[in-house]
Structure 1
Amino acid sequence: MRVLMLLAVLVTLTGCAVSSAFEASPEEIAAKVYVPNGPPKLTIFTMVNNETGHGGHTALMVSGSQQVIFDPAGSFQHELVAERGDVLYGISPAWVQAYKSAHARSTHHVVSQEIVVTPEQAERALQLVRQNGAVAGAFCTNSTSSILQQVPGFEDIQVTFYPIKFMNQIEARPDVVTDRYFENDAGDVRDGIEAAQS
C-alpha cells in the first residue's frame, strides 16, 4: 500500500521533476543579489492543476536581507538568474512575475501565500534554503515543508509530500495573504520564461 501511495505522489508531482546541474559561483550570486523593499516575508507558491485541483509543485520565496526563491527540483532557469542548490538569486519583482507567469498556463494556476515575518525568521529561512542543496525530483513539497518547520514560529508545520496539504496548512495560519494567478496560454515553464522576458 505504501508503494502505491508513493507512486501516486510521484505521478502527481510532475511539476517538480527536473533539477538543474548548473551551480552559480559565489561571485555570480553576489553580483545578482536583490534587496527587497518592505517588511520581511515568506511566500509559498503552489502550482495547482485547474482541472483536478491537485498540486503540481511547491516553492518558497524568502524576502529578507535579500530575496530568493527556493525552487526545489524546479525547472525555472534563465541566464540572468543565478542558481545554486535549487535557490534562485536576484529575484526582483519582475522576476517574481516571470516565475509566476512561467508556471501559470491553461492547465495550472499559481497560488501565492504571503506571510510577514520577523527579520530573524526571514534570515533563518534564508540560511536553511541556502544550506539545503539541490532536491531530488518529486521532493519539492517535502523539502519546503521540512525547511519551514525549522523556522521559529513554524514548528507546528507538518512535513508532507502533498502540495495541497501543505497549502492548506499555510492557509489555516493567521495573517496569510493569498493570491491566485491565472494565464490561459498552452506553453510550459520555458515558454513562460521566454514570454515574460520578451
Structure 2
Amino acid sequence: MTSASVLWHQAPPGRVALRAALLAGCVALAGCAAQKKPNADAATLAAATHVHNGPPALTLFTMVNNRTGAGGHTSLMINASERVIFDPAGSFYADVVPERNDVLYGITPSVVLAYRGAHARSTHHVVMQRLEVTPAQAQRAYELAVSNGRVPGAYCANSTASILRQLPGFEDMKVTFYPVKLSEQFGARPGVVTTKYYEDDDPDLQKALAEGNVTLSQ
C-alpha cells in the first residue's frame, strides 16, 4: 500500500530524438541538463563513503513544476553498500559531495536535506518516493548506477527507468522520458511511501545550490 505526506517549508528513433530535444528546453531550468562536472578520483570517493544504517531502499526524487505539474528532473537515491544518488544530467553540486559519472557520493542526512532543499523552491516542489527493497536489489541498483556513465541532458527519467527495469522484480517498469510518468509508475508499487516537499524561496536554482554548498561546507 502506498502512503503520502506533504512537507511545507517557507517512440520511433526520429520521434524519440525530437522528443528529447523538446524536453531539453523544458527541463533545463529544473535541473535536468547535461553538466560538465569533473569526475572525482577513487581516493576522494572512498574518503566520502557514507554507509547509512537504514534498510536497503530506493528513493525516487521527482522535481515537479508548481504551475504546470510537469516534471523537471528525476534522480534516484540508493541505499546499498553505501548511499549514493544517481543524479543523471543533474545540476547539484557541493564541495563535500564528490561526483563521478552522474553519481553523487557521501550522501549523509545533511546532504539529503541540502539536495532536497536546493530543488524545492517557489517554482518547483520535490516528490520523494521511498521503497524498501532486498539487499540484492539495492546492490544491483548501485552497480548499475555507478557503471552507467554520464547521461545526456533530458535523459534523466529515461536513464533512471532503464536502471530500475533491470532490477529483479522491476522488469515491468516502462522506460519513459517523462519524470512524472516514471513517478506514477514507481508510486504504484506496493510499499512505496511518498512525501512531497515545498519551499517558497528564490526560484534561481544556481543560487540555491550555492547557498546549500556554503551550508554543507561549514
TM-score range, shorter chain: over 0.9
Deviation at 1:160, TM superposition (A): 0.5
**Partner amino acid, structure 2, of 1:10:** A
Deviation at 1:6, TM superposition (A): 4.0
For the aligned residues, what is the CA RMSD?
A: 1.5
TM-score (norm 2): 0.86
Cα distance in 1, alignment partners of residues 26 and 189 from structure 2: 25
Residues 85, 133 of structure 1: 8 Å contact kept: yes
**Partner amino acid, structure 2, of 1:119:** P
Residues 48, 56 of structure 1: 8 Å contact kept: yes
Aligned 1:114-193 pairs, distance under 5 A: 114-193=130-209
Cα distance in 1, alignment partners of residues 44 and 19 from structure 2: 41
Cα distance in 2, alignment partners of residues 91 and 161 from structure 1: 26
| Residues 63-83 of structure 1: CA deviation (Å, up to 9, x unaligned) | 111000000000101111110
Aligned 1:45-124 pairs, distance under 5 A: 45-124=61-140
Cα distance in 2, alignment partners of residues 76 and 21 from structure 1: 10
SS in 2 for 1:16: coil
Cα distance in 1, alignment partners of residues 154 and 21 from structure 2: 10
Using CA pairs under 8 Å that are at least 6 residues apart, name the structure with larger relative contact order, 1 or 2. 2
TM-score (norm 1): 0.95
**1:26 has 2:54 as partner:** no
* Identity within the alignment, %: 54
Q: Give 1:9's match in structure 2, choosing from 8, 13, 23.
A: 23
Deviation at 1:4, TM superposition (A): 5.3
User: Please, which runs of 5 or more residues in structure 1 have no aligned partner?
Assistant: none
For this pair of structures, how many residues does the alignment match?
198
Residues 59, 129 of structure 2: 8 Å contact kept: yes
| Residues 5-39 of structure 1: CA deviation (Å, up to 9, x unaligned) | 44432333223113233100010000000000111
SS in 1 for 2:128: strand
| Residues 27-59 of structure 1: CA deviation (Å, up to 9, x unaligned) | 000000000011100000000000000000000
User: Please, which runs of 5 or more residues in structure 2 have no aligned partner?
Assistant: 1-13
